[in-house]
Amino acid sequence: MLNRISTYFFRRPNLVLAIFLIPPLLYLLVVYLGSLVSLLVNSFYSIDDFTGMIVREFTMRTYAQVFNITNREIIFRTATMALIVTIVDAMIAFPLAYYIAKFASPRLKTWLLIAVTIPLWSSYLVRVYAWKLILAKEGILSWFIHLFNLTDALDWLLGLPGIGGSSLSLSPIGMFIVFVYIWLPYMIIPIQTALERVPGSLLEASSDLGARPSQTFRTVILPLAFPGVVAGSIFTFSLTLGDFIIPLTLGNSKFFIGQAVYSYQGTGGNVPLAAAMTMGPVVIMVLYLLIARRLGAFDAI
Amino acid sequence: MMNNPSAPAITFEKVSRYFGEVKAVDQIDLEVIDGEFFSMLGPSGSGKTTCLRMIAGFDRPTSGQIHLYGRDVSSLPPYERDVNTVFQDYALFPHMNVGDNIAYGLMVKNVARQERTKHVDEMLELVQLSGFAGRKPSQLSGGQRQRVALARALINHPKVLLLDEPLGALDLKLRQQMQVELKTIQKRVGITFIFVTHDQEEAITMSDRIAVFNQGKIEQIGSPSDIYERPASSFVAGFVGTSNLVSGEIAKHSTGSEQTFSIRPEKIHIGSLSDTPHSDMISMDGVIRDVVYLGLFTRYLVEIEGGVDLVVVEQNLKSTSMDVLSAKGQKVRLSWHQDHISRVGG
């Protein structure tokens, strides 16, 4: 009996393929793309200011609201933060990923990869609150800064307009530190994977042909690791764009996109505006991917 | 530069390379003459590739010195040595097209683009790939990649070109064609080639001289015919071509000494028991135990006195498979010229 079933499927490979592929495809289509489409549709509705009811008629009025001065600032602020976090994460991640991929012994490699991913085992919320305590005015970081007599430097940093605040935990600088920390593994792993796939003989060939290590880095390692950097930056950039817990917990009173969406649809009940606001990160990400493709990030895939 | 043009291209002075307890290369002395096609032949793990990597600079000797035209390069990084390598896996840069791959050595030296293009075109012509500059390595066949790797390594006009089993991944026809081409290119550019291979036929076809490696040491250095006709050890006799090793009583019977000697299968003549061999021939009677018909020639397994089996190869000049296969079980008289044996010690 079992044999006959096996034979039946063996003779119909397309049926097997369909059985395996249709559920995830349906899921992708209905849940992912479906919700995106409903988001898009909703963003073209508007809310009746008087009754607070959603008016299901096509209008650009909501998008006009997205581009009012407050929301423009929110989008700009969030995108800037996402960009800086991404750049700094890439700069921190690259040397570590390079070391893990090309120099560490197999044993050390395992340990380093565990060390990189261990933070992901604990709750994101717990880690954010832990950082809130670390960065607080009476927190351990301040204590260290005091210990090394760097209090003046910290005060100067916190006094900077726009990014300062009353303490690290209540300033954009603090948010930035936590964002960099929280998304770092998502940058290390793709870069490490990309570098892992670069055969050692390519680096030897480059050196053999007369390239100094810095030239090999620029002309061989970096271009071949670039898809990994792009993959990592998609994570760090989009995760920062959409996050609302960290700005809520650590920042000052200035909104980020995530917070705005949260308050528009939650407190305000303005689903169309929240939807239109969400389209911001989607558009930014699409633009970002197009630019990355232009730069040849996906050529080697 | 402190180069001395009359010095040997490469000199090894008591070079060793240990990996922990393993002696990959053990106290090797070696001289490669300027302009020759030199092969390093040996089984995997014999130390030949480690020697090549030490010449290129990817690896450094644990002890000893390596000279390139009289200049000690033992501790120079690869990018400061006038040596280029053709890698086993070709190691072409996947993100660059063929032209940029070949121009790489010039690019890192900041040679102007126009100049580079000119040299690339010359190189493409040398390896018969004109018009391929715009292709990506992934669009090329194995043989074409091989040529690109060769062109890339030659564009800097290195003093010595190192080839690390470059033909290993090609099929037989292409390999034989590339053997001839490599030899031709070497003559045209006049550069010293050091060729690492485990394929004895390849080494014999292409080389001016061969070093046979075994367990981190060199067993013999010599011309292909030296290596083949006069193997210095039983390892060389066994590794290069097929050999019959004869020792002990039987050796004494035929040569008057118990010292082991080797005799190549094609040097043995099979005759009938009524033959009386010439006075400078050594003869021995035996029974044909097995016959393998191979088209061009036939391989016989002949059991001689004392239960020793000798392999004998004869060309099928007149005989057909019917003739040779019926020879099984026949008593025969084997004979060979006494000059054709090599004493291999032991």
Q: What pLDDT, on the 0 to 100 scale, is given for residue B203?
A: 92
- Which of B78, B91, B105 lies closest to A202 in CB terms? B91
Find the farthest-apart pair of alpha carbons in chain A and give their distance in angstroms, rounded. Answer: 80
Residue A25 placed within a domain? no
Least trusted range by pLDDT, from A40-54, B182-196, B259-273: A40-54
Residue A136 placed within a domain? yes
Domain end position, chosen among B189, B224, B239? B239
Using CA coordinates, name the residue in chain A closest to B88.
A201
Residue B258 placed within a domain? no
Element (H, E) at A55: strand A54-55
Residue A141 placed within a domain? yes
Contact call for B91 and A299, based on CB within 8 A: no
**Where does chain B show beta strands of DSSP type E?**
10-19, 22-32, 37-41, 63-68, 71-72, 83-86, 160-164, 192-197, 209-214, 217-222, 244-246, 261-263, 269-271, 281-293, 297-304, 309-315, 331-337, 342-343
Q: Please give the average per-residue pLDDT across B168-174, as a whole number.
A: 84
Report the gap between the CA of B195 and the closest CA in chain A (Å).
Answer: 16
Residue B171 placed within a domain? yes
Q: Name the B residues in 16-75 with CB < 8 Å from any A CB.
A: 56-58
Using CA coordinates, name the residue in chain B closest to A214.
B108
Q: What pLDDT, on the 0 to 100 scale, is given for residue A299?
A: 62
CATH code of residue A135:
1.10.3720.10
Least trusted range by pLDDT, from A239-243, B173-177, B315-319: B315-319
Residue A20 placed within a domain? no
User: Based on the structure, what is the number of domains in chain B?
Assistant: 2
**B233 and B275 both lie in a single domain:** no
Contact call for B78 and A207, based on CB within 8 A: yes
Q: What pLDDT, on the 0 to 100 scale, is given for residue B287?
A: 92
- C-alpha A112/C-alpha A288 separation (Å) is 31
| pLDDT, mean over chain B | 89
Contacts of A207 in chain B (CB under 8 A): 57-58, 77-79
Residue A6 placed within a domain? no
- C-alpha B158/C-alpha B193 separation (Å) is 10
CATH code of residue B330:
2.40.50.100
CATH code of residue B120:
3.40.50.300
Is residue A137 within 8 A of residue A166, CB to CB? The reply is yes
Is residue B302 within 8 A of residue B332, CB to CB? The reply is yes
Using CA coordinates, name the residue in chain B closest to A203.
B91
In single-letter form, the type of residue at position A143 comes to W
ipTM: 0.83
- C-alpha B338/C-alpha A142 separation (Å) is 93
Using CA coordinates, name the residue in chain A closest to B95.
A300
**B105 and B37 both lie in a single domain:** yes
**B102 and B227 both lie in a single domain:** yes
Residue A174 placed within a domain? yes
Residue B255 has pLDDT above 80, yes or no: no
Q: Which of the four pLDDT bands, split at 50, 70 and 90, describes residue B25?
A: very high
**B271 and B129 both lie in a single domain:** no
**By percentage, how much of chain B surpasses pLDDT 70?**
98
Residue B86 has pLDDT above 60, yes or no: yes
Residues pairing with B86 in the sheet: B163
**B54 and B187 both lie in a single domain:** yes
What range defines the domain where residue B157 resides? 10-239
Q: What pLDDT, on the 0 to 100 scale, is given for residue B63?
A: 94
Q: What angle do CA B17, B20, B25 make, to 5 degrees?
A: 20
- C-alpha A10/C-alpha A29 separation (Å) is 28
B89 contact A CB<8A: yes
Residue B88 has pLDDT above 80, yes or no: yes
Residue B3 placed within a domain? no
Contacts of A206 in chain B (CB under 8 A): 93, 104, 108
What range defines the domain where residue A179 resides? 71-294
**B110 and B202 both lie in a single domain:** yes
Q: Which of the four pLDDT bands, split at 50, 70 and 90, describes residue B262?
A: confident
Q: What pLDDT, on the 0 to 100 scale, is given for residue A300?
A: 54
DSSP B200-211: HHHHHHH-SEEE
Q: CA B237, B238, B240, B242 torsion: positive or negative?
A: positive
Q: Which of the four pLDDT bands, split at 50, 70 and 90, describes residue B1?
A: very low
DSSP B83-126: EEEE-TT----TTS-HHHHHHHHHHTTT--HHHHHHHHHHHHHH
Q: What pLDDT, on the 0 to 100 scale, is given for residue A165?
A: 80
pLDDT in tens, chain A (301 residues): 788 888 888 888 888 889 999 999 999 999 889 988 988 898 888 888 777 788 888 888 888 888 888 888 888 999 999 999 999 999 999 999 999 999 999 999 999 999 999 988 889 899 999 999 999 888 888 888 888 888 888 888 888 887 878 888 888 999 999 999 999 999 999 999 999 999 999 999 999 999 999 999 999 999 999 889 998 998 999 899 888 889 888 888 788 888 888 888 777 778 888 888 888 888 888 888 888 888 766 665 4
Is residue B231 within 8 A of residue B204, CB to CB? The reply is no
- Which of A207, A209, A296 lies closest to B156 in CB terms? A209
User: Any alpha helices (H) in chain A, and if so which ranges?
Assistant: 2-10, 13-27, 34-43, 61-66, 69-102, 106-117, 124-135, 140-147, 151-158, 172-196, 200-208, 213-216, 222-242, 245-250, 257-262, 271-294
Find where tokens 């921190």 sit. A92
**B203 and B277 both lie in a single domain:** no
**B213 and B284 both lie in a single domain:** no
Residue A117 placed within a domain? yes
Residue A287 placed within a domain? yes
B79 contact A CB<8A: yes
Residue B244 placed within a domain? no
**B235 and B271 both lie in a single domain:** no
**By percentage, how much of chain B surpasses pLDDT 90?**
58
Domain end position, chosen among B239, B257, B274? B239
Global pTM? 0.80
Q: What pLDDT, on the 0 to 100 scale, is given for residue B169?
A: 78
Report the gap between the CA of A215 and the closest CA in chain B (Å).
Answer: 7
**B101 and B208 both lie in a single domain:** yes
- As given in the structure block, the two tokens for residue A102 are 């090309």
**B115 and B190 both lie in a single domain:** yes
Q: Please give the average per-residue pLDDT across B306-325, as a whole number.
A: 83
Q: What is the DSSP letter of A264?
A: I
Residue B257 placed within a domain? no
**B213 and B334 both lie in a single domain:** no
Q: Please give the average per-residue pLDDT across B146-152, as a whole number.
A: 94
Report the gap between the CA of A201 and the closest CA in chain B (Å).
Answer: 6
User: Based on the structure, what is the number of domains in chain A?
Assistant: 1
- C-alpha B82/C-alpha B190 separation (Å) is 15
Phi, psi of A40 (to 5 degrees): -60, -45
Contact call for B85 and A224, based on CB within 8 A: no
